[in-house]
Amino acid sequence: MALLDSLVNNIRERMGITQTWPPAQVREKWIKVEAYRRFAKNDYYELLQHTPEFNRSAQGRELYTPIAIAGEVARYSADLLFSAEPIITYEKDEDLLAEILDANGLAARLVAIAESIAAEGRGALRIIRDDEIAEVPLITHVNEDRVIWDERHGGFIAGGVVVIQREKGNPTGREVYRLLEEHTKGKITRRLFVGRSTQLGAEVPLSQFDEFKDFSEEEDTGLDVPTLIKWDNVSGGKSDIAGQEAILEAINAEVSYGREKSKKSRPVTFVDGSLVDEEGKADLSGIQILRGKNLSRAMGEEPKNLFDTIQPDFQSAEQIAWTDWLIDTALLTMGYSKASYGRDQGGSADSGKALKLRQARTLLKKAGKDRMAKEALINAIAVALAWESGGGSVADYRPEIELGDGLPRDTMEDSQEAQNWKATDSISTEDLIRMRRPDYDDEAVQEELERIDEDRKKASAAATRPAQTEEGDPVEGESDTASRAEAILQRIRSNGSSS
């Protein structure tokens, strides 16, 4: 509880200073995380508030067109990790593992969690108990700007404080309730505060807010690790968007300018004022009326036509080329190959190997994300298993996790690879089945093995059973040597008795 106490005491000492919340040690980081999330969400109104170039005029607000590049990169990152459901095994207690995975619905939630991690750079997996939802521990996700980590010695995590914030209106304004929940070895400690958006406020009992009234102030877990697990996007907890804010803003601006050019290139028709009736009525769609003079005098020439149309050139080629370069540069500096988005010179008929070579940069980044994701999930599931089993040492409950490669499968290359392994007896039938059908679970694999074994037995029996002619003699060439010899002896005996 050292972090929670020092945090509260530090804030209380600064109560007379503006902006006492968020705490000083995380304020700058949380502001950055909020900006990353804003780019990933790509909400027009949120982004416009932080874009004075377009926000200060009605025309600018109409033209502003943000593009969801950051959000797409975060989604792509998550799909690389979890487009194929991870294979999670724990041989010591498969039933308990299945119960925890089913209660948490991890298979359905992992993509959304990984998307948030990619955008924010880091997040937390919080393991709690809530018997009204499930009888086993729950694994929940906490955003990075809702965690204050107890980080020591340059990156070692000794626990942390989760901030659960709720707002409630009253006659004098809006009160902000904050539940500070500290996770340390063997214990969870909770304290509730009510204040304002920029102040932590006073401590109140948990019962004062309905959502938290059933929580206990202290909860013993009996575990040798905290029930709060760090999940880094890559080593160091860096967001895919970090350092890309300027180029993302440039892309949004260029697309908006392109929209302005497109609007200005639309045809405009000028019509002589004589075409308007006495009441001034006319169909003015796309028409500019020159009142008080006719079109010919306005143009300084003799009357020729009562209308004329002007359409400026769009001149879009340079704009598109510049915007494409910005997008390619953004993807490159975020750590992804252009081939990942089909923006290179490759073709759709490329082999799986060629595709992987062109996506080398993406695959290198995915490898780092894989390590971070697997470590976080292994630790979180181990905590849940140990807590439910009543074990103290979480290290004894670590499951195994295998992630997919996130790329389309080349079935021809897979088949050739399997044939090469089979020819050298370097792969088992079970591994061949798993390679051919990665969607099979253990039960389905076992059933397939049994079918293959049964087919082999039938084929073996058929091979050793001699084929018979109508007279009962074996068919030449379709029985083994012993059967043929026996047939010859029978013929000799038959010929001797007849003579």
Residue 280, number of CB atoms within 10 A of its CB:
9
Q: Do residues 122 and 233 make contact, with C-beta atoms less than 8 angstroms apart?
A: yes
Q: Are 256 and 63 in contact (CB under 8 A)?
A: yes
> What is residue 465's predicted lDDT score, i.e. its pLDDT?
65
**Predicted local distance difference test score (pLDDT) of residue 471:** 55
**Torsion angle, alpha carbons of 131, 134, 138, 140, to 10:** -100
Amino acid identity for residue 196 in this structure: R
Q: What is the pLDDT of residue 425?
A: 74
Q: Compute the C-alpha angle 460/465/467, nearest 5°.
A: 130
If DSSP codes are grouped into helix, strand and coil, which group holds residue 302?
Answer: coil
Contact 387, 223 (CB under 8 A): yes
Interval 160-208: pLDDT, tens? 999 999 998 776 778 999 999 999 999 999 999 999 988 999 999 999 9
Q: Are 291 and 355 contained in the same domain?
A: no
Q: Is 486 among the domain residues?
A: no
Under DSSP, is residue 122 helix (H, G, I), strand (E, B) or coil? Answer: strand
Same domain assignment for residues 15 and 62? yes
Flag whether 104 is in a domain: yes
CA nearest to 11, candidates 195, 253, 207: 195
Q: Are residues 306 and 328 in the same domain?
A: no
The pair of structure tokens assigned to 249 is 């803003």
Structural domain contains residue 457: no
Residue 400 β-bridge partners: 89
- Are 82 and 222 found together in one domain? yes
Please give the residue range of the domain that contains residue 33. Answer: 1-265+311-408
What pLDDT digit, counting tens, does each position of 110-123 carry? 999 999 999 999 99
Tokens for 5?
A: 């106490």
Residue for token pair 């299945």: 98
Spell out, as residue ranges, where the chain has pLDDT lower than 50.
14-18, 349, 478-479, 499
pLDDT at 44 (0 to 100) = 96
| Residue 464, number of CB atoms within 10 A of its CB | 9
Provide the CA 142 distance to its chain's centre, in angstroms: 15
CA distance 393 to 164: 28
The residue out of 277, 310, 343 marking a domain boundary is 310
Residues 304 and 322 in one domain: no
Judgement on whether residues 273 and 158 belong to the same structural domain of the protein: no
Q: Cβ–Cβ contacts within 10 Å for residue 152, how many?
A: 10
The single-letter DSSP state of residue 272 is E
- Asked whether residue 184 falls in the same domain as residue 257, the answer is yes
Residues 196 and 291 in one domain: no
Residues 303, 404 within the same domain = no
Of 268, 321, 323, 270, whose CA–CA distance to 295 is shortest?
270
Assess whether 152 and 238 both reside in one domain. Answer: yes
Q: Does 353 share its domain with 232? A: yes
**C-beta neighbour count of 328 within 10 angstroms:** 14
Residue 440 is assigned to a structural domain of this protein: no
pTM of the prediction? 0.74
Q: Is 6 helix (H, G, I), strand (E, B) or coil?
A: helix
Helix, strand or coil, per DSSP, at residue 58: helix
Chosen domain end from 408, 435, 450: 408
- Residue at 153 is within a domain: yes
- Give the residues across from 179 on adjacent strands: 164, 192
Measured CA to CA, the distance from residue 365 to residue 331 in angstroms comes to 12
Q: Copy the structure tokens of residue 212.
A: 């938290």
Final residue in a domain of this structure, among 248, 275, 310: 310
Q: Which residue's structure tokens are 């020159």? A: 290
Q: Is residue 490 part of a domain?
A: no
Q: Which of 254, 192, 22 is nearest to 10 (CA)?
A: 22
**One domain for residues 171 and 106:** yes
Res 343: pLDDT = 83
487 in any annotated domain: no
431 three-class SS: helix
Task: Tell how strand 228-232 and strand 199-204 pair up.
Answer: unpaired
Question: 481 lies in a domain?
Answer: no
**161 strand-pairing partners:** 148, 182
Split into its structural domains, the chain has a count of 2
